[in-house]
Amino acid sequence: MLKNSTEKLNFFKQAFNSEEFRQNGHKIVDILADYMEKASSGRLNYVLPPIEPDEMMNLWDGEFSAEPGKAPDEMVKKVVKYSNHLLHTKYIGHQVISPLPLAALFSLTGSLLNNSTAVYEMAPSVTIMERNLIKWMSNLIGFRENSDGIFTSGGTLGNLTALLAARQAKSGYDIWTEGSKDSAGLAVMVSEQCHYSVKRALQVMGMGETGVVTVPCDEAYCLDTEKLEEIYEKAINEGKKVIAVAASACSTATGSYDDLEKIGEFCGQKGLWFHVDGAHGASALLSEKYKGLLNGIHRADSVVWDAHKMMLMPALSTAVLFKNSESSYEAFSQKASYLFEKEAREEWYNMAHRTMECTKPMMAFNLYACLSVYGTKFFGDYIDHVYDLTKEFAEVINQSPDFELAIEPEGNIICFRYLKNRDEDINELQFKIRKKIISEGSFYLVQTVLRNKAYLRCTIINPLTTIKDLKELLDKVREVA
């Protein structure tokens, strides 16, 4: 029991002791550096610890002692041991990056400074970094000088923010103040392959399932632009008020890029908001070789772009970019006198006017700092490398008669399946193969179903993954099958 205020102060001073922080920091960085070398060199013999959830529960205490107990470095060693190893070259699963080690150190800096970037007074430096990143990314898209935007916590919130702005701009009245009053339900047209967060956003906004108007895909799993007019007219005839089209660049399941030129042209003709979910694929704008996949993105009214996917940043770091700066204020219009002194449009430097968050971490710092250190070509070269590697892997699969591709990959997502065991249900076989590989932890890959056919799915996202790793995956699939 602490007896007096001096004793209490000394107790807390110890927790903030700079020398203790230095010693713990050296220990933890050494552990992480050793882990990084082991994971990226292939000396770590599993990607995912082969432990079921019930067993994992037994490894972590459910109660906490009132007194100090665990050593910080031992906690780090344990969490590293029992985590999914994205740094491993055989991690080819979800669209979650193995981040730049330098970005992790910048994250440490941001965590210690803990400036909340929703209000300029709380984060003066990073507010300006964020502002400059928004302008830089908008320029890459091809937006005019009048563009604007913000960073937010992930693509799900990014899509919600953009679609809230679309609703405010296209509903025909101030829906934020007056509430929904349309007899015709508002609706947004989306690809059948759109990310679930787009549909979730529309339902969170109260538009319901009827507010999601699905447009079928073509053979390449891109939104079928030939069906846009037909689907639009059908929705109108059903009494819906279509306000927007949401395109994918690229889709999550197959990595297919929608035809942004044609969709943008359609939206222009109909007076619809054009939103591009570029969470995964917008980073291809940095590649001279692959930026053509995004032709037409300049037509968009809003774009979501995740830096924590294809720009090698730790999660979360999502830019929401608007062609018209006025639109960036449309989603949220509340007043809070304890935070803001002026109208939102006069306070471009107070990001809370335009984000869901009131407390917002220094998510722009990592990206700004890494771009400053490495230069933009580094990131374009990374895109070229993983997109090229995926195409090389596709060629290996095409030359293997016991495998088939779903489609030729456009980016770094690839879907394929094993065919040899034809006496067994082919779909069920893919699920069994994946489950067996995951259970032993030798690779981490996922699965998807496309038009009632099951496929193994890989996102080739680790810059250190090689064609040798991918050929070994095919051998592993054969062995397991």
User: What DSSP assignment string belongs to 214-272?
Assistant: EE-B-TTSSB-GGGHHHHHHHHHHTT-EEEEEEEESS-TTT-PPP-HHHHHHHHHHHT-
Q: Do 47 and 85 contact (CB within 8 A), yes or no?
A: yes
Tracing tokens 């300006």 back to the chain, one arrives at 128
Average pLDDT over residues 126-142: 97
What confidence tens digit (pLDDT) does each residue in 455-464 have?
Answer: 999 999 999 9
CATH topology of domain 377-480: Aspartate Aminotransferase, domain 1 (3.90.1150)
Phi, psi of 23 (to 5 degrees): -65, -45
Structure tokens at 358: 């009131």
- Specify the DSSP element, H or E, that contains 448: strand 446-450
The candidate with the shortest Cα–Cα distance to 299, out of 272, 326, 279, is 272
Count Cα atoms within 13 angstroms, Cβ side, for 16: 7
Q: CA–CA separation, 305 vs 158, rounded Å?
A: 8
291's enclosing H/E stretch is none
User: Is the pLDDT score of 417 beyond 90?
Assistant: yes
What confidence category does residue 67 fall into, taking pLDDT thresholds of 50, 70 and 90? confident
The band of 118, judged by pLDDT with boundaries at 50, 70 and 90, is confident
Residue 101 in this model has a pLDDT that exceeds 80: yes
* Cα gap 177→333, rounded to integer Å: 9
Residue 333 has pLDDT above 80, yes or no: no
80 phi, psi to nearest 5 deg: -65, -45
The top-scoring range by mean pLDDT among 320-329, 331-340, 373-382, 413-422 is: 373-382
Does 250 sit behind a cis peptide bond, omega within 30 degrees of 0 on the bond before it? yes
Question: Where would I find the beta strands (DSSP E) of 29-147?
Answer: none
More confident residue, 329 or 205: 205
Which tokens in the block code for residue 245?
């089209």
Q: For the chain, how big is the Rg over CA atoms in Å?
A: 24
Write down the mean pLDDT value for the chain: 92
Cα–Cα distance, 166 to 187 (Å, whole number) = 11
3-state secondary structure of 113: helix
N-terminal to C-terminal alpha carbon distance within the chain: 62
| DSSP letter (8 states) at residue 373 | H
Q: What is the mean pLDDT of residues 324-342?
A: 62
Specify whether the CB–CB gap between 235 and 213 falls below 8 A.
yes
Q: So where are the chain's domains? A: 115-374, 377-480
How buried is 153 (Cβ within 10 angstroms: 0-12 exposed, 13-18 middle, 19+ buried)? middle
302 has which bridge partners?
275, 322
- Tokens linked to 8: 């209490």
- Three-state secondary-structure class, residue 213: strand
For residue 199 the two structure tokens come to 């549909």
Note the pLDDT of residue 339: 37
DSSP secondary structure string, 123-147? -HHHHHHHHHHHHHHHHHHT--TT-
Q: What is the pLDDT of residue 11?
A: 78
DSSP secondary structure letter of residue 14: H
Pairing of strands 273-277, 302-306: parallel
Of the ranges 115-119, 265-269, 328-332, 346-350, the best mean pLDDT one: 265-269
- Name the residue with tokens 């999601």: 212
What are residue 456's phi and psi, to 5 degrees? Answer: -80, 140
Identity of the residue numbered 204: V
- Please give the pLDDT value at position 182: 67
- Closest by CA position to 264, among listed 223, 300, 213, 216: 300
Cβ atoms of 240 and 259 within 8 Å: the answer is no
Which residues are CB-neighbours of 348 under 8 A, at least 6 positions away? 131, 148
Tell how far CA 219 is from the center of its chain: 25
In this predicted structure, what is the pLDDT of residue 335? 45
**Is CATH 3.40.640.10 the classification given to domain 115-374?**
yes
pLDDT single digits (tens) 169-208: 898 877 777 777 765 689 999 999 999 999 999 999 989 8
Rounded to whole angstroms, how far apart are CA atoms 146 and 349? 16
- Whole-Å CA distances, 365 to 159, 313, 375: 22, 10, 15
Tracing tokens 């035809």 back to the chain, one arrives at: 259
- The token pair at 241 is 């008020």
Percent of the chain residues past pLDDT 70, beyond the cut? 95
Q: Matching CATH topology for 115-374 and 377-480?
A: no
Which residues contact residue 165 at a Cβ distance below 8 angstroms, ignoring those fewer than 6 apart?
Answer: 302, 322, 327, 328, 330, 331
What pLDDT is recorded for position 366?
96
